[in-house]
Structures are given as structure tokens and as C-alpha cells.
């Protein structure tokens, strides 16, 4: 398996533009997570899905952020409009959930977003 | 929800054992302790997890105290490639599911 795949790896955009980040989880995993990492705030969970259904989006900073998972092999995180404070590395992760909820998360390589 | 406390930084000589401590004094009986690490510019990587018994795998050993209020991750023979930020996590129940919350972690520097 190729692991969790994210695209693009780097994105530079101007304030006000729409940004779409993409993630392909590991095949067979039923949980998908979106994280954001900055120097100031560390690694923050934004939202996670179970079987394509959003379970908890309390970490999404504001209405400019939205995430979808139309099928088991694809998810997007969209920022519209983008702002300079959205500059960060965005990670996608996926995992299985065992019968006793023991699991490990597999992280993608991340997308480094710079908003000018 | 259980929280963890880790020293912000540590250093270790190459070839020596690196012992990374973690306090989780409010851990519940059914909460697991997980360790991840993040090498610069990469996504976090799972290392090991445990409930109450000591665990060992090809990467590291995890020692959990009998009262489960603290644990130690041991890298038996640290190499330069082990330089990374190490996160100790206690699974936190959120909305019926168990989701790990990453703190600041310990920045481990392995020097020659």
C-alpha cells in the first residue's frame, strides 16, 4: 500500500483565493482525520470522519473551512476565502478501529500551505 | 479527559539509550498510552502503545508504572535518525469515539 496520499504537497496562494487540499486514505481504513500544524498551536485536530460521515468538526476554526468525504477513498479540505493566518501544514491521517478501539493513525506527508 | 505532561526537550548521545518520560496522572483505567514521533517536515509516525503491561517492539520499549500515572519510552540505542519530536498521548473520548490529542511533545536531539 502506498500509505496516505495528500496533494498538493505545497500550495502558495493569495489571500481571498479558494484552496482545496486532497487526501486518499489507506484502503480499508474507516476513519479519516484532518489536522493542522503551526508553530504557535502545534498539531490540532480539525475534523474526522467515520465511514465517510463527519463525526466531530469542533476543531474547524470557522465557516471558511469545510471538509467532505464523498467516498471511502477520497476526502477534501476546502478553505474559502483563504487568509494569511491559514498558513500551516495540513495533515491527513487514516486508521482502523478495532473491536476494543485500539488503533494507530497513519499520517500522510502533509500539504504546506502558504497564503500571501 | 486525561492529559499528558512531557519535558519540552531532551538530548542523548548516539548509541546510548534515550528515556523519554511522560506523566498522565489522571488517566482512566481503560485509556491506552500511545507514543508517536514526528521527524522534521514529515507526518507523525506511530511508535508503540500500551495499557498497563510493558510493551516492546522493533522501534522501542514502553514502560508503564504500576499505578499507570506515568510512562517512559525507551529507545535502546539512539541514532541520529531518532532526532524528532516525541508525543505521548492518552486517548481522549470525544463524541463516543477515541481520538488522540497531540500536545507539544518532547524534542529529542541525538548528538554524535
Neighbours of A65 (CB within 10 A): 20
| pLDDT of amino acid A99 | 40
Residue A29 has pLDDT above 80, yes or no: yes
Least confident of A46-50, A111-115, B27-31, B98-102: B98-102
| pLDDT of amino acid B102 | 81
**For chains A and B, what is the number of CB pairs under 8 angstroms?**
52
Distance from the Cα of B97 to chain A's closest Cα (Å) equals 8
Query: B91, B88, B100, B103: which is closest to B22 by C-alpha?
Result: B88
Does B46 touch chain A if contact means CB atoms closer than 8 Å? yes
Mean pLDDT of A16-25: 98
Dihedral pair phi/psi, residue A14, rounded to 5°: -100, 150
A66: which 3 cell numbers?
469545510
Q: What residues contact residue A79 under an 8 Å CB cut-off, 6+ apart? A: A18, A19, A64, A65, A86, A113
Does B32 touch chain A if contact means CB atoms closer than 8 Å? yes
CA pair distance B2, B25, nearest whole angstrom: 8
| pLDDT of amino acid B97 | 56
Mean pLDDT of B50-79: 94
Amino acid at each position: 500500500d502506498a500509505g496516505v496520499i495528500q496533494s498538493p504537497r505545497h500550495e502558495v496562494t493569495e489571500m481571498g483565493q479558494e484552496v482545496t487540499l486532497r487526501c486518499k486514505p489507506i484502503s480499508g481504513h474507516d476513519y479519516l482525520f484532518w489536522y493542522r500544524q503551526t508553530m504557535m498551536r502545534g498539531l490540532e485536530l480539525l475534523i474526522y470522519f467515520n465511514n465517510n460521515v463527519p463525526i466531530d468538526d469542533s476543531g474547524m476554526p470557522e465557516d471558511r473551512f469545510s471538509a467532505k468525504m464523498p467516498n471511502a477513498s477520497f476526502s477534501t479540505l476546502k478553505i474559502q476565502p483563504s487568509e494569511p493566518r491559514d498558513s500551516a501544514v495540513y495533515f491527513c491521517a487514516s486508521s482502523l478501529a478495532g473491536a476494543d478501539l485500539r488503533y494507530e493513525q497513519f499520517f500522510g506527508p502533509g500539504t504546506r500551505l502558504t497564503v500571501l | 479527559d486525561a492529559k499528558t505532561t512531557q519535558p519540552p526537550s531532551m538530548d542523548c548521545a548516539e548509541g546510548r539509550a534515550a528515556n523519554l518520560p511522560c506523566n498522565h496522572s489522571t488517566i482512566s483505567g481503560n485509556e491506552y498510552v500511545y507514543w508517536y514521533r514526528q521527524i522534521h517536515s514529515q507526518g507523525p509516525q506511530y511508535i508503540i502503545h500500551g495499557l498497563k503491561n510493558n510493551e516492546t517492539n522493533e522501534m522501542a520499549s514502553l514502560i508503564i508504572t504500576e499505578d499507570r500515572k506515568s510512562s517512559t519510552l525507551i529507545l535502546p540505542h539512539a541514532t541520529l535518525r531518532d532526532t524528532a519530536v516525541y508525543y505521548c498521548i492518552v486517548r481522549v473520548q470525544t463524541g463516543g469515539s477515541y481520538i488522540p490529542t497531540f500536545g507539544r511533545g518532547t524534542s529529542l536531539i541525538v548528538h554524535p
